[in-house]
Chain A
């Protein structure tokens, strides 16, 4: 089942008097349980594509479908709801809330998704257990290593059981060994929980854990 799909996606931005076309008709699909890497040089449009598939930006034209739901670019006010229901994000810089503990970071995402109280706490603890942070639940991000922070971010991305998880350079700030552990965790979680996983990366090691690699160059998916 396809959980994330973009068909003939185009995106252009205005820069002063010029219009820059960043995506020029990209098509990409991710199925449930599939791990896909999106590779490409800087400025190739991969983060823009990730933003569009993640319902953070709307496409200038083309069709985007998330968990079977077509994204209507004329109604951007509905995007937060689609993100909340169907998408989890993992960022290069982790983007954890520094004033909250690991458990509270995950719990906060659950609160946003409508799970509150003891249920949110229990779910947050289960997710942290699943990413191997059972003994670090009460730690603040400042007291966690890079790998541990990324594990918290992965646990947060899994809240609400999203159909797809989008990761932006998740290993860029991690050393080789920790990066490999994080990638293994990503793959096993995607397979075990049947989530579609799209990883934007420059890291050749990511390729090794992916089912498929898509290359993007100058706003087009390379054959």
Chain B
């Protein structure tokens, strides 16, 4: 490379960028020689590896003291900064949030429509519930249970491809992180979304005339 013969001595894990562009780690001076136009006299990023037992905070403070005009980040800080960059400095964040918003909106519409169709189909049964003394609250409970089932089924149907994509992406070297907290938030969000979708059906059953039970 650039007239140099290089030897690959190891492969790193967890060091793939968001765009999956590979990153090569090498001696600082060698890197400067390989890209003289860009790097001669300059350093963009320097990876510091601590000796076993070294005090991370102390090392960070000391580097910051010696290089006051540079940023010194720990691993987590750098990861957060990187995520912030992709979300706020590129169009990616807006696209992702828009996709999530549209997904939520379409989900609410589909579930609302399904529940409403089911409510209309069982209007006479809801009328019977009212005729035998059931209140609107009793019927809301039934609808909420239906919404809960829709949420559970929808969540499982969504989770299966999500975890399959995670496995496929890992095969391509891209790590898709799905922490338990996100799974819990998505599940709770799905429940809330489906409950919100039941509101239109609530309105319909609240206005059911129980006298419809006498119609053929």
Where the two chains meet, the residues of A that have a C-beta atom closer than 8 Å to any C-beta of B are: 47, 50-51, 54, 56-57, 80-81, 83-85, 87-89, 91-93, 95, 97-98, 109, 112-113, 156, 159-160, 168
With contacts A47-B214, A89-B213 taken as known, whether A97 is within 8 angstroms of B128 at the C-beta atoms is yes
B103 at the interface (CB under 8 A from A): no
6 residue pairs of the A-B complex, CB under 8 angstroms, read: A51-B211, A56-B210, A56-B213, A85-B133, A89-B131, A97-B125
Residues of B within 8 A of A98 (CB): 125
With contacts A97-B125, A112-B129 taken as known, whether A80 is within 8 angstroms of B213 at the C-beta atoms is no
With contacts A91-B214, A92-B216 taken as known, whether A80 is within 8 angstroms of B134 at the C-beta atoms is yes
Residues of B within 8 A of A156 (CB): 132
Decide if B214 touches A51 in the complex (CB within 8 Å): yes
With contacts A50-B214, A168-B214 taken as known, whether A84 is within 8 angstroms of B131 at the C-beta atoms is no
Q: How many B residues touch the partner, as a band?
A: 10 to 19
Decide if B213 touches A91 in the complex (CB within 8 Å): yes
Residues of A within 8 A of B134 (CB): 80, 84, 112
**A80 vs B127: C-alpha distance when bound (angstroms):** 12
Decide if B133 touches A93 in the complex (CB within 8 Å): no
Residues of B within 8 A of A80 (CB): 130, 133-135
**A201 vs B153: C-alpha distance when bound (angstroms):** 46
Name 18 extra pairs, CB < 8 A, besides A95-B128, A113-B133. Answer: A50-B214, A54-B131, A56-B131, A56-B213, A81-B133, A83-B132, A83-B133, A84-B134, A88-B132, A89-B131, A91-B213, A92-B214, A95-B131, A97-B125, A98-B125, A109-B132, A112-B132, A168-B214
Distance in Å from the Cβ of B145 to the closest Cβ of chain A? 12
**A104 vs B124: C-alpha distance when bound (angstroms):** 18
**A88 vs B133: C-alpha distance when bound (angstroms):** 9
Q: Which of B87-142 contact A (CB under 8 A)?
A: 124-125, 128-135, 138
**A56 vs B131: C-alpha distance when bound (angstroms):** 7
Distance in Å from the Cβ of B178 to the closest Cβ of chain A? 35
Residues of A within 8 A of B132 (CB): 83-84, 88-89, 109, 112, 156, 159
**A80 vs B206: C-alpha distance when bound (angstroms):** 13
Distance in Å from the Cβ of A22 to the closest Cβ of chain B? 12
| Closest A residue by C-beta to B133 | A84
**A168 vs B211: C-alpha distance when bound (angstroms):** 12
With contacts A47-B214, A56-B211, A112-B138 taken as known, whether A95 is within 8 angstroms of B133 at the C-beta atoms is no
Distance in Å from the Cβ of B211 to the closest Cβ of chain A? 5
